[in-house]
Structure 1
Amino acid sequence: MTKITIVAFDGTRFDIEAENGSTVMENAIRNSVPGIEAECGGACACATCHVYVDPAWAEKVGAPEAMEEDMLDFAFDVRPTSRLSCQIRVRDEFDGLVVQVPERQA
């Protein structure tokens, strides 16, 4: 299991043991993280699972692919480390990953 931390907008930390191969979004939903709506269920067809990757992790997580970038155009307050959590697949190298939920979704 890989440990990830999702920080809600109010600062509440959700320290989660995530199964490799799952997405950050799936883990947020399973753990009732407020602010992750995931209206499309993880199909990269909305921007309601938008998160900010902690700058220390941004390079390791990588940049969004073209389809995700297009969806981020609909997200609220996009920043250089913005990603859709449905597109971040958990793997061993992400042990300790920290992401933050924005004030609101699209």
Structure 2
Amino acid sequence: MDDPDAPVAIAPPHGIWDHWVIYNISASITKLSEGQIDSSIKILNNSWQEKKYGGPCPLASKPHRYFFKLYALNDYLELDENASKQDLVLALQKHLLAEAALIGIYSI
């Protein structure tokens, strides 16, 4: 889940605040329950440099868009545990079958 509306002053150099970066979700998994992530799912650092979900917390200035992106791949990915989101995006391009996105809008 990422937030392209985070202020440039706090967003990383690519201008998007990453709240959650996960991959290798089996096609058989139909939901992600709080606190119950399957051991096969890999988690990369978010923009807080933590391997976990960080919820939305926009400043009071305006609503933010939150992008949930899902990619169907033809294989599992083998990435270093310290890989970046950019490393993930490059790796998945070689195995991409389809992609989808859901955009939610949230404000305080």
Above 0.5 in TM-score?
no
Choose between structure 1 and 2: higher helix proportion: 1
Higher relative contact order, structure no. (Cα contacts within 8 Å, ≥ 6 residues apart): 1
- TM-score w.r.t. structure 1 length? 0.29
Choose between structure 1 and 2: higher strand proportion: 2
Which of these two proteins has the greater Rg computed from alpha carbons? 2
